[in-house]
A and B are shown apart, each in its own frame.
Chain A
Amino acid sequence: DAGVTQSPTHLIKTRGQQVTLRCSPKSGHDTVSWYQQALGQGPQFIFQYYEEEERQRGNFPDRFSGHQFPNYSSELNVNALLLGDSALYLCASSLARRNEQFFGPGTRLTVL
Chain B
Amino acid sequence: GENVEQHPSTLSVQEGDSAVIKCTYSDSASNYFPWYKQELGKRPQLIIDIRSNVGEKKDQRIAVTLNKTAKHFSLHITETQPEDSAVYFCGPGGGNKLTFGTGTQLKVEL
Interface residues of A (CB under 8 A from B): 31, 33, 35, 40-45, 48, 50, 55-56, 58-59, 90, 94, 96, 99-106
Which chain B residue lies CB-closest to A42?
B100
Sorted nearest first, the 5 A-B pairs with minimum C-beta distance are A42-B100, A99-B32, A103-B43, A103-B44, A42-B89
Segment at the interface with A among B13-21, B63-71, B91-99: B91-99
**Docked CA distance A41–B49 (Å):** 21
**Known pairs A35-B100, A43-B89, A103-B36 / 12 extra A-B pairs, C-beta < 8 Å:** A42-B4, A43-B100, A45-B99, A56-B97, A96-B96, A99-B32, A99-B34, A99-B49, A101-B46, A102-B46, A105-B43, A106-B43
Number of A-B contacts (CB under 8 A): 61
Interface residues of B (CB under 8 A from A): 1, 4, 32, 34, 36, 42-46, 49, 51, 89, 91, 93-103
Please, which residues of chain B bring their CB within 8 A of the CB of A35? 100
Whether the pair B100, A44 counts as a contact (CB closer than 8 A) is: yes
Please, which residues of chain B bring their CB within 8 A of the CB of A56? 95-97
Whether the pair A100, B49 counts as a contact (CB closer than 8 A) is: yes
Instruction: Kindly identify which residue among A41, A45, A104 contacts B97, using a CB–CB cutoff of 8 Å.
Output: A45
Min CB distance A72 to B, Å, is: 13
**Docked CA distance A48–B99 (Å):** 13
